[in-house]
Amino acid sequence: MKLLIRNLARNITEAELRAMFQEHGTVQSCTLVIDKETGSSKGFGFVEMPKPGEAKAAIKILNGMDVDGSKLRVKKDESKKDAGPAN
């Protein structure tokens, strides 16, 4: 399950984000979105967890958690990038 994590503190690293979610299960991938011009975080990222039960537990525990003064917003990623062409 791919998760969207928003409202991240700008100083959080990809390793810290991964570690936060690994406490709740297996993390398949972790991507922190970086501003190409400044090289700093844009304040959101994605985490993929292969086991839906672990992903749901991570959402329940981490959504709303205060990390470095920022209240995390964690939810299932609903983007439609993988959808085929519309007919």
Structural domains of the chain ordered from first start: 2-25+32-61 (3.30.70.330)
Q: Is the pLDDT of residue 87 over 50?
A: no
Mean pLDDT confidence for 18-41: 94
Residue 62 tokens, joined: 């981490």
| Surface-to-core class of residue 25, CB atoms within 10 Å of its CB (0-12 exposed, 13-18 middle, 19+ buried) | middle
Q: How many residues does the chain have?
A: 87
Q: Are 11 and 41 in contact (CB under 8 A)?
A: yes
**Where do we find the tokens 């994590």?**
5
- Predicted TM-score (pTM) of this structure: 0.87
pLDDT at 79: 80
Beta strands in 1-87 (DSSP E): 2-6, 29-34, 41-48, 66-67, 70-71, 73-76
